[in-house]
């Protein structure tokens, strides 16, 4: 007999998942207009009130990403007494329940995070990143991999001494927009390298939408075979071909329990234009059409995991409401389908029922709830040959 219980087929699949919101950092870094400080604070705080417990707040490298020149102001608002009171009324302890992350690709940004921490509004967690493709790594960080590993080791020690956790990101696992595919084994080795120099957790990143379900399952199975603590690993996927949801399911089946996304599927390569002025960013864009880049949609991801019956902690309807507001903030239709069509309503929508069925049932003498002719057997009986094998269909 076929086994119908998904958790028996995939015993590593979690019953509870942690879904991070990285909209106001990764989502906004791709926008070519400045998103107001008020909007960043609003969406960050509202996401926490809706159930987010891992929020990526800002990037501390405003030189290349001037979208985040307001990093101090946004972080201070997230730590403010006013927001603490709002969170407490919702029974949320910001210090115990929520992790605030700042991206710090290079050491000067790590030093900024440490300064913020000393001043009382710093992050709980920061992030540095290596790519398995040396060319992509150089485009992103301006160093060789060996140089960067030494810098990361130094930064982890400094951050740890300051009471800040370090997330080590491994990028271009399933492909690079510059050099193409790399070996999955290299990404597993890079993950071990991060842990060996003291990283707290690892973000496993598909930064150009190269991943597919089969390779995602294979990779995360390799990772959890080598380092079997699912809470130490985080899945970060981009969406360029409308197939990322298969990769989410594959990661769950492999045993991953931590994911992240952006509202409306925004984000991607840092913008090289802001308002009316060209800026540095990370150089020329890797793509021809900006409509087809970005991360997996946070709203759709939450609905997907919710409808799998996996616990996640979000108020789904509140997040869909936020997603609709985000479209007005950005000024265009974003890529979430869930904000338009909502979640699956198991009760249906009887307002769309056509009038007259009850009267027709009475008129033809059928019983309420009758689904087949009364003279038919209670259960269908198949003959020895049916469908394509039936004699009637032979040529």
Q: How far is CA 11 from the centre of its chain?
A: 23
Region class of 23: left (phi > 0), else alpha (psi between -120 and 50), else beta: alpha
Q: What is the mean pLDDT of residues 348-376?
A: 94
Residue 288: predicted pLDDT:
84
The closest alpha carbon to 236, from 208, 278, 274, 275, belongs to 208
Residue 31: predicted pLDDT:
96
Residue 160: predicted pLDDT:
98
The answer to whether the CB of 310 falls within 8 A of the CB of 252 is yes
What does the alpha-carbon distance between residue 298 and residue 262 come to, in Å, rounded to a whole number?
5
Q: What is the mean pLDDT of the chain?
A: 96
The helix, strand and coil proportions of the chain, stated in percent and rounded to the nearest 5, come to: 45, 15, 40
Residue 343: predicted pLDDT:
87
Six token digits for residue 195: 């842990």
Q: Band the pLDDT of 362: cuts 50, 70, 90.
A: very high
The answer to whether the CB of 193 falls within 8 A of the CB of 227 is no
What does the alpha-carbon distance between residue 350 and residue 26 come to, in Å, rounded to a whole number?
41
What does the alpha-carbon distance between residue 168 and residue 153 come to, in Å, rounded to a whole number?
10
335-349 pLDDT, tens digit per residue, is 999 999 988 888 888
Greatest CA separation found in the chain? 83
The closest alpha carbon to 20, from 234, 264, 238, 232, belongs to 234
Task: State how far the alpha carbon of 128 is from the alpha carbons of 24, 36, 137, 296, 320, in Å.
Answer: 18, 26, 11, 21, 31
What does the alpha-carbon distance between residue 199 and residue 247 come to, in Å, rounded to a whole number?
25
Residue 125: predicted pLDDT:
98
- CATH numbers and ranges of domains, the chain: 6-341 (3.20.20.70), 359-393 (no CATH)
Q: Is 241 or 36 the better-scoring residue by pLDDT?
A: 36
49-84 pLDDT, tens digit per residue, is 999 999 999 999 998 899 999 999 999 999 999 999
Backbone dihedral angles phi then psi of residue 228, each to the nearest 5 degrees: -80, 55
Residue 208: predicted pLDDT:
86
190-200 pLDDT, tens digit per residue, is 999 999 999 99
The answer to whether the CB of 344 falls within 8 A of the CB of 304 is no
Residue 349: predicted pLDDT:
86
What does the alpha-carbon distance between residue 204 and residue 219 come to, in Å, rounded to a whole number?
10
Q: Which residue bears the tokens 């984000």? A: 267
Residue 321: CB atoms within 10 Å: 15
């Amino acid at each position: 007999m076929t086994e119908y219980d998904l958790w028996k087929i995939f015993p590593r699949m979690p019953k509870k998942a942690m879904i991070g919101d990285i909209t106001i950092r990764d989502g906004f870094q791709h926008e070519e207009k400045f998103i107001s400080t008020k909007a960043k604070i609003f969406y960050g705080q509202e996401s926490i009130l809706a159930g987010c417990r891992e929020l990526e707040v800002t990037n501390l490298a405003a030189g290349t990403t001037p979208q985040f020149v307001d990093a101090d102001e946004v972080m201070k608002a997230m730590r403010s007494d006013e927001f603490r009171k709002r969170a407490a009324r919702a029974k949320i302890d910001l210090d115990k329940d929520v992790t605030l992350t700042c991206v710090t690709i290079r050491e000067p940004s790590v030093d900024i995070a440490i300064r913020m921490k000393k001043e009382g509004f710093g992050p709980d967690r920061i992030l540095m990143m290596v790519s398995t493709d040396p060319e992509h790594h150089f485009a992103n960080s301006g160093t060789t991999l060996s140089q960067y590993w030494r810098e990361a080791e130094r930064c982890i020690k400094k951050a740890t001494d300051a009471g800040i956790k370090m997330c080590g990101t491994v990028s271009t696992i399933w492909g690079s927009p510059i050099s193409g595919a790399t070996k999955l084994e290299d990404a597993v080795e890079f993950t071990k390298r991060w842990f060996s120099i003291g990283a707290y957790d690892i973000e496993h990143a598909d930064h150009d939408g190269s991943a597919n379900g089969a390779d995602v399952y294979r990779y995360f199975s390799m990772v959890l075979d080598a380092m079997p603590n699912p809470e130490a690993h985080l899945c970060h996927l981009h969406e360029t071909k409308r197939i990322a949801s298969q990769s989410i399911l594959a990661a769950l089946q492999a045993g991953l329990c931590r994911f992240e996304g952006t509202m409306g599927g925004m984000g991607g390569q840092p913008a090289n234009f802001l308002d009316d002025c060209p800026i540095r960013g990370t150089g020329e864009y890797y793509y021809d059409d900006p409509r087809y880049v970005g991360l997996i949609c946070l709203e759709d991801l939450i609905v997907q995991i919710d409808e799998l019956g996996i616990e996640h902690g979000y108020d789904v309807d509140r997040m869909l409401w936020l997603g609709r507001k985000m479209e007005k903030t950005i000024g265009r239709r974003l890529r979430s389908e869930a904000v338009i069509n909502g979640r699956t309503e198991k009760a249906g929508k009887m307002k769309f029922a056509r009038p007259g069925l009850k009267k027709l049932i009475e008129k033809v003498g059928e019983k309420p709830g009758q689904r087949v002719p009364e003279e038919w057997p209670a259960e269908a009986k198949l003959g020895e040959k049916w469908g394509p094998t039936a004699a009637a269909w032979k040529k």
